[in-house]
């Protein structure tokens, strides 16, 4: 419905006058509707769209103040201009007191004034409505917002608090209003815990009108502390003068707790909750700055568990994890609160000792740790034992930064492992030299295969009765371009630790079979070639298929290939070794236990392994002449081999006496310098052709 001004008057002359006044010369003329009785006027109002009413107090159905009151009770919100005669002017004034906007005398009806009054009335009403809506909206927003809002006057007295502010401060509006801001809104810095500047002063001093302030703690009325973030701004009155301040704040405890948790996680190990490498580095570097300033020392202890992997493999990761947690707890109990125990990963831990007067202090801690870790563990009703190897580096002698100190402690730990485990070593410069040397060899070895620097030598195995060649062992040689011949004892361990033994071993297997085939093709009698197999190679999933592929591609009869596996390799995971050996046996290759006697063989497994030969370790043969006990042991080993129906091969045979002893004990075969050193393939071909009897001139 269109909006209009409603004229309620019964005198047609008055009506005309008003209509003329309001419609004439008016830029945007107002629509005017007229009714002649008060009741029809009320009816029209109820339909809506009436902006203002011009009401004659003298109506046919009502008179005087009664007219006004009747209409006002029906439409209290609509602005009203009264038309009054001079005689009823006092009534019109009365009506003004009760809420009418204005009155105008009929006999002084001035068009201009009439227009102005009506227009003013309408505009004022519109402005009031708008202001009301604004106010409503503001109140609604304040009560719904999660933010707490608090306002003050220029004297810093609280003037208003919304619901959220009541909850956060612990003050009700009634109690707070009129109080000093500092009493209701007590805040301290969360880091320094010092009271912070009154936000009012901060706002007044600030260039900008709004300030956002983080890292605050609000002390609630009951003393409880709430982490908040607040912003403050000054409020101004209509004339632009500062009239007070509004402070908006909210609880950030949850967000801050989340941030703290995230940063904790980034710096700690999830399993043990110890500091991780990142945090340890930080702490060491801090301790170094401190030690440098006060000329102090500090030590880094690197702890690595011995044979942890075995526990993990035998009992599963859950047990392994719990063991690591127990180790962590014990380590922490070994050191002072000012020291830092950290887990670097796996079974490696590092400890920063920040108060070291002399190196004996670190010795004391290292011994204490070894003792603490060595006590038995009870995990999931299982009793476990584990030891550790420890390396120690010290500041300032071994390094000037965290990385270097940790690395040197690691190097020293590596030495402790080599020297027998369950022990500690301090870092020494020669260790570093050895590490560097090792790294150099490793990188040279990496390219050795491609550069054709690896060769095989061949050492015959001899039948001790007939002196015939029963087989030949392929032995790896590395001709380093600058250093000449490097013995396997120096490079095989590096190849094993770096994993290079897998491709190298693969090459040995292929090269040995290729050579066996070449001798056959040259018309020489077929010979069984033995190849040494390392743990990593044997454990690799594709070992079986590699062996098969080599045999097929070289055309060597599987019976003419013998794989030599040490006791240690076989016993590492004896159950799966049983399966693997059976699979290899099914292909037809021969299987020998290498270095028999120095490892820990379980006899029940020796019976279950489908073996063909035992190679008695050369240390026992060497001791034969000097040590009667050794003779007994060798005899026992020969008998074990025989009772299991295995061929028995004595390694490292160097003297005639040894040969005679072995012969009398019924040892089938021998291998050693007495018969022949390892030789190149061409030389071995000659032996194959003419036999060894001539060659051995003893």
Binding footprint of Ca ion on the chain (CB under 5 A): 532, 564, 594-595, 651
Tally of CB atoms within 10 A around 568:
14
Applying CB under 6 A, the span of 109-117, 149-157, 460-468, 481-489 interacting with ligand C2E comes to: 481-489
The CA distances from residue 43 to 40, 76, 601, in Å, are 5, 14, 114
The strands making up 225-236's β-sheet, listed across from edge to edge, are 158-161, 148-153, 242-251, 225-236, 210-219, 186-189
- From 345, 487, 493, 629, residue interacting with ligand C2E (rule: CB under 6 A): 487
Chain position whose Cβ is nearest to ligand C2E: 672
Distance separating alpha carbons of residues 592 and 609, to the nearest angstrom? 10
Applying CB under 6 A, the span of 366-374, 379-387, 484-492, 578-586 interacting with ligand C2E comes to: 484-492
Residue 539 CB, shortest distance to ligand C2E, in Å, is 13
> Could you write out the DSSP letters of every residue in 281-304?
HHHHHHHHHHHHHTT-EEEEEEEE
Please tell me whether residue 532 adopts helix, strand or coil conformation: strand
**What are the strands, taking DSSP E only, across 347-453?**
348-356, 377-379, 382-384, 388-395, 424-426
Applying CB under 6 A, the span of 13-21, 114-122, 187-195, 648-656 interacting with ligand C2E comes to: 648-656
Distance separating alpha carbons of residues 544 and 616, to the nearest angstrom? 26
Please tell me the count of residues contacting ligand C2E according to CB under 6 A.
Answer: 21
Distance separating alpha carbons of residues 415 and 229, to the nearest angstrom? 55
Residues whose CB is less than 8 angstroms from the CB of residue 143 and which lie 6 or more positions away in sequence, other chains included: 162, 163
Among Ca ion, ligand C2E, none, the one that 492 touches (CB under a kind-dependent 5 to 8 A) is ligand C2E
- From 21, 476, 581, 637, residue interacting with ligand C2E (rule: CB under 6 A): 476
Residue 413 CB, shortest distance to Ca ion, in Å, is 30
- From 288, 369, 508, 611, residue interacting with ligand C2E (rule: CB under 6 A): 508
Binding flag, residue 678, ligand C2E (CB under 6 A) = yes
- From 85, 156, 170, 488, residue interacting with ligand C2E (rule: CB under 6 A): 488
Are residues 249 and 229 in contact, defined by beta-carbon separation less than 8 angstroms?
Answer: yes
> Could you write out the DSSP letters of every residue in 67-95?
HHHHHHHH-TTS-EEEEE-GGGHHHHHHH
Distance separating alpha carbons of residues 166 and 277, to the nearest angstrom? 46
- From 7, 35, 464, 475, residue interacting with ligand C2E (rule: CB under 6 A): 475
Among ligand C2E, Ca ion, none, the one that 227 touches (CB under a kind-dependent 5 to 8 A) is none
The CA distances from residue 1 to 49, 74, 126, 230, 470, in Å, are 6, 20, 18, 49, 119
Residue 646 CB, shortest distance to Ca ion, in Å, is 15
Residue 482 exposure: Cα atoms within 13 Å on the Cβ side: 4
**What are the strands, taking DSSP E only, across 254-380?**
297-305, 340-345, 348-356, 377-379
Residue 608 CB, shortest distance to Ca ion, in Å, is 22
Are residues 612 and 592 in contact, defined by beta-carbon separation less than 8 angstroms?
Answer: yes
Q: Are strands 210-219 and 225-236 parallel, antiparallel or unpaired?
A: antiparallel
Residue whose CB is less far from ligand C2E, 427 or 538:
538
Residue whose CB is less far from ligand C2E, 61 or 623:
623
Give me the helices (H) in 449-572, please. Answer: 488-498, 501-521, 535-539, 543-554, 567-572
Residue 628 CB, shortest distance to ligand C2E, in Å, is 21
Binding flag, residue 461, ligand C2E (CB under 6 A) = no
Residue 569 CB, shortest distance to ligand C2E, in Å, is 10
Residue whose CB is less far from Ca ion, 410 or 564:
564
Contact letters for ligand C2E, residues 563-602 (x by CB under 6 A): -------------------------------xx-------
Residue whose CB is less far from Ca ion, 281 or 459:
459
- From 84, 506, 534, 665, residue interacting with ligand C2E (rule: CB under 6 A): 534
Residue 534 CB, shortest distance to ligand C2E, in Å, is 4
Residue whose CB is less far from ligand C2E, 251 or 612:
612
Structure tokens given for 162: 């919304």
- From 208, 489, 643, 664, residue interacting with ligand C2E (rule: CB under 6 A): 489
Among Ca ion, ligand C2E, none, the one that 147 touches (CB under a kind-dependent 5 to 8 A) is none
Contact letters for ligand C2E, residues 652-671 (x by CB under 6 A): xxx-----------------
Helix (H) or strand (E) holding 255: helix 253-267
Among Ca ion, ligand C2E, none, the one that 199 touches (CB under a kind-dependent 5 to 8 A) is none
Among Ca ion, ligand C2E, none, the one that 654 touches (CB under a kind-dependent 5 to 8 A) is ligand C2E
Among ligand C2E, Ca ion, none, the one that 508 touches (CB under a kind-dependent 5 to 8 A) is ligand C2E
Residue whose CB is less far from Ca ion, 171 or 543:
543
The neighbouring-strand residues paired with 350 are 302, 342
Residue 651 CB, shortest distance to Ca ion, in Å, is 5
CB environment 291-309: b (16+ within 10 A), e (fewer): beeeebbbbbbbbbbbebe
Can you tell me which residue has the tokens 């609280």? 158
- From 106, 408, 618, 647, residue interacting with ligand C2E (rule: CB under 6 A): 618
Residue 617 CB, shortest distance to ligand C2E, in Å, is 8
- From 441, 492, 520, 563, residue interacting with ligand C2E (rule: CB under 6 A): 492
Residue whose CB is less far from ligand C2E, 459 or 560:
459
Can you tell me which residue has the tokens 């309001």? 22
Residue 478 CB, shortest distance to Ca ion, in Å, is 17
- What are the residues binding ligand C2E (CB under 6 A)? 459, 475-476, 487-489, 492, 505, 508, 532, 534, 594-595, 618, 651-654, 672-673, 678
């Amino acid at each position: 419905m269109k909006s209009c001004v409603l004229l309620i008057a019964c005198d047609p002359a008055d009506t005309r006058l008003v209509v003329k006044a309001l419609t004439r010369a008016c830029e945007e003329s107002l629509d005017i509707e007229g009714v002649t009785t008060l009741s029809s006027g009320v009816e029209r109002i109820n339909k809506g769209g009436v902006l203002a009413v011009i009401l004659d107090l003298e109506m046919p159905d009502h008179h005087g103040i009664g007219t006004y009151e009747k209409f006002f009770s029906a439409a209290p919100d609509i602005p009203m201009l009264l038309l009054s005669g001079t005689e009823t002017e006092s009534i019109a004034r009365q009506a003004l007191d009760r809420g009418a906007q204005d009155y105008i005398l009929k006999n002084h009806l001035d068009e201009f004034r009439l227009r102005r009054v009506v227009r003013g009335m309408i505009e004022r009403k519109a402005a009031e409505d708008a202001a009301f809506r604004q106010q409503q909206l503001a109140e609604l927003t304040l009560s719904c917002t999660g933010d707490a809002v608090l306002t003050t006057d220029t004297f810093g007295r609280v003037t208003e608090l919304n619901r959220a502010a009541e909850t956060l401060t612990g003050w009700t509006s009634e109690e707070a209003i009129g109080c000093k801001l500092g009493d209701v809104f007590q805040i301290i810095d969360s880091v320094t815990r010092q009271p912070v500047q009154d936000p009012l002063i901060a706002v007044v001093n600030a260039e900008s009108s709004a300030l956002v302030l983080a890292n605050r703690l609000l002390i609630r009325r009951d003393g409880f502390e709430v982490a908040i973030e607040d912003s403050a701004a000054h409020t101004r009155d209509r004339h632009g003068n500062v009239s007070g301040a509004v402070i908006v704040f909210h609880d950030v405890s949850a967000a801050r707790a989340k941030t703290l948790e995230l940063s904790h996680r980034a710096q700690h190990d999830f399993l043990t909750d110890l500091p991780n490498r990142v945090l340890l580095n930080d702490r060491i570097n801090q301790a170094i700055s401190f030690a440098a300033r006060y000329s102090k020392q500090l030590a880094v202890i690197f702890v690595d568990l011995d044979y942890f992997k075995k526990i993990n493999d035998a009992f599963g990761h859950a047990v392994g994890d719990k063991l690591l947690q127990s180790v962590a707890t014990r380590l922490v109990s070994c050191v002072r609160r000012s020291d830092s125990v950290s887990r670097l990963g796996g079974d490696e831990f590092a400890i920063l000792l920040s108060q070291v007067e002399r190196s004996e202090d670190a010795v004391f801690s290292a011994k204490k740790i070894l003792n603490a870790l060595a006590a038995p563990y009870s995990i999931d009703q299982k009793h476990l034992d584990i030891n550790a190897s420890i390396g120690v580096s010290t500041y300032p002698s071994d390094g000037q930064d965290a990385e270097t100190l940790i690395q040197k402690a690691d190097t020293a730990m590596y030495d402790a492992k080599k020297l027998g485990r369950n022990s500690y070593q301090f870092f020494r410069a020669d260790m570093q030299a050895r590490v560097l040397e090792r790294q150099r060899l490793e990188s040279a070895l990496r390219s050795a295969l491609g550069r054709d620097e690896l060769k095989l030598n061949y050492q015959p195995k001899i039948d001790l009765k007939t002196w015939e060649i029963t087989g030949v062992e392929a032995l790896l040689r590395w001709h380093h371009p600058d250093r000449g011949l490097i013995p396997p004892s120096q490079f095989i361990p590096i190849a094993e630790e770096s994993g290079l033994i897998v491709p190298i071993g693969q090459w040995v297997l292929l090269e040995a079979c290729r050579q066996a085939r070449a001798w056959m093709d040259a018309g020489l009698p077929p010979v069984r070639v033995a190849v040494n197999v390392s743990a990593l190679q044997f454990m690799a999933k594709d070992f079986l298929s590699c062996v098969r592929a080599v045999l097929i591609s070289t055309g060597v009869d599987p019976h003419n290939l013998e794989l030599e596996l040490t006791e240690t390799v076989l016993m590492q995971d004896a159950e799966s070794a049983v399966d693997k050996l059976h699979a290899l046996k099914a292909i037809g290759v021969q299987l020998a236990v290498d270095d028999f006697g120095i490892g820990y063989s379980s006899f029940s497994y020796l019976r279950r392994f489908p073996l063909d030969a035992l190679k008695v370790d050369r240390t026992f043969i060497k001791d034969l002449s000097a040590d009667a006990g050794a003779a007994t042991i060798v005899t026992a080993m020969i008998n074990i081999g025989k009772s299991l129906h295995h061929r028995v091969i004595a390694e490292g045979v160097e003297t005639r006496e040894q040969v005679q002893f072995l012969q009398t004990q019924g040892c089938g075969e021998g291998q050693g310098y007495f018969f022949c050193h390892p030789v190149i393939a061409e030389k071995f071909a000659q032996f194959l052709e003419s036999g060894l009897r001539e060659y051995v001139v003893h």
